[in-house]
């Protein structure tokens, strides 16, 4: 009798709400009955019985699941998660997406987004964006799913105004990006304090090790302060294009085309308008090397 009362109390305490209820007590009770119902071990591999939101959150975030009541949000597949700062984030499970790898085998991508919230409302300030986690699975002959790789803990997907620049549509553009790798390029931008910025990154869906992100350079203009036709309107852009190279030992090289317009009084160190460079992937440094011999990052020229 006492043991049953304790179980009921535990279940009630850990119910997670979406709108009014994010994670049902029935789910928590199901997982409490037997941890093996959600995940089993195959040597050192992580194998889960299915890819629904209950299984994924219990497998990767069980100890951080918390009670959370959100306002004006009707997403069913979401939970409250305790973040590193001690606050509770609103974690959303996105629909699983699929693609075929280089060998033509079907792969499954799970994408989680952790939004900062305050009093049940997602924080939507200019620098605010959700933390994104990616998990890559393959299906086994018994119908279960084995984890192949996942994104690094410090993955920093760009975004602004409370949203991520990486969207479901980007995963429809998965393509071969190297000798044996599949991946995608996503882009984003924002306008703030008079300037407009655009940037993009390559995500490589490695099946061993980590899912990696390689940021490309930023393009910028002052269209946030001046309208089209104004003589003070100026800016520069960089267009990145993967160049298919069957001889590439790893990731394909990338061609970068620079262009500019107007008089940029805030930048005087850019390459000549129309300049084209090719940057190569350096496996030892795990980055693309720019024309300066350094790893290419968001704000490199």
Digit-coded pLDDT (tens) for 178-237: 999 999 999 887 776 677 778 889 999 999 999 999 988 777 777 767 778 888 888 878
The per-residue pLDDT for 37 is 35
**Percentages (nearest 5) of helix, strand, coil residues in the chain:** 15, 40, 45
Q: How far is CA 81 from CA 7, 50, 244, 282, in A?
A: 22, 21, 41, 37
Residue 17 has pLDDT above 50, yes or no: no
pLDDT higher than threshold 90 for residue 268: no
Q: CB-side exposure of 38: number of CA atoms within 13 Å?
A: 21
Does 245 score more than 80 pLDDT? Answer: yes
Place of tokens 């192949």: 148
Q: pLDDT confidence of 18, banded at 50, 70, 90?
A: very low
Model confidence band, residue 15 (pLDDT cutoffs 50, 70, 90): very low
Q: Output the pTM of the full model.
A: 0.82
Mean pLDDT score, 92-119: 96
- In this structure, what DSSP letter does residue 244 have? -
Compute how many other C-beta atoms are within 10 angstroms of the C-beta atom of residue 42.
Answer: 10
Q: If we measure between CA atoms, which residue out of 91, 9, 107, 109 comes closest to residue 54?
A: 91
């Amino acid at each position: 009798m006492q043991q049953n009362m304790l179980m009921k109390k535990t279940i009630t305490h850990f119910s997670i709400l979406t709108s009014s209820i994010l994670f049902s007590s029935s789910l928590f009770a199901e997982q409490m009955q037997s941890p093996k119902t959600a995940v089993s071990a195959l040597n050192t591999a992580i194998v889960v019985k299915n890819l629904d939101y209950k299984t994924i959150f219990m497998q990767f975030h069980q100890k951080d699941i918390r009670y959370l009541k959100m306002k004006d949000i009707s997403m069913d597949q979401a939970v409250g998660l305790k973040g590193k700062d001690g606050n509770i984030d609103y974690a959303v499970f996105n629909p699983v997406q699929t693609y075929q790898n280089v060998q033509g085998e079907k792969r499954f991508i799970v994408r989680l987004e952790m939004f900062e919230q305050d009093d049940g409302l997602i924080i939507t300030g200019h620098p605010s964006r959700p933390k994104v986690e990616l998990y890559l699975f393959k299906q086994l002959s018994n119908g279960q799913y084995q984890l192949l790789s996942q994104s690094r803990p410090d993955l920093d997907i760009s975004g602004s105004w409370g949203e991520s620049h990486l969207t479901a549509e980007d995963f429809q553009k998965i393509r071969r990006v190297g000798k044996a790798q599949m991946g995608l390029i996503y882009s984003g931008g924002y306008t703030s304090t008079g300037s407009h910025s655009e940037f993009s990154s390559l995500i490589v869906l490695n099946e061993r090790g980590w899912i990696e992100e390689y940021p490309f350079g930023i393009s910028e203009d002052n269209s946030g302060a001046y309208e089209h036709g104004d003589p003070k309107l100026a800016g520069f852009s960089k267009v990145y294009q993967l160049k298919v190279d069957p001889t590439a030992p790893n990731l394909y090289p990338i061609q970068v085309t620079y262009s500019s317009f107007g008089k940029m009084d805030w930048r005087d160190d850019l390459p000549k308008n129309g300049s084209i460079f090719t940057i190569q992937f350096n496996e030892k440094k795990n980055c693309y090397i720019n024309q300066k011999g350094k790893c290419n990052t968001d704000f490199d020229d």
